[in-house]
Amino acid sequence: MSREKEHYRENLAMLYEKFGQKDFLMLDEVCAFLRCDRRTVIKAEGFPIKKLCSTYRIPITGFARWLS
């Protein structure tokens, strides 16, 4: 069983506070939060992004883990 990263819980709580109780975030929301271009986010190594049809969705738990 793998362990949680050090600041995972704090990051998850901060994201829930910022975005509400959502399971998935839109790419534009994440880009605004990170203050970077969408192409940079899409190509970031290890970034938890899922493509559904023509839109990109980011699971909030994976995003919190990636921030940790």
Q: Where are the domains of the chain?
A: 8-67
CA nearest neighbour of 57 among 34, 30, 39, 32: 30
- Report the distance separating Cα 41 and Cα 7, nearest Å: 21
Q: What's the CATH architecture for 8-67?
A: Orthogonal Bundle (1.10)
**pTM > 0.75: yes or no:** yes
- Report the distance separating Cα 37 and Cα 41, nearest Å: 7
pLDDT in tens, 1-35: 578 788 899 999 999 999 999 999 999 999 999 99
Contacts of 49 (CB under 8 A, 6+ apart): 27, 41, 42, 56, 57, 58
**pLDDT at residue 39 is higher than 90:** yes
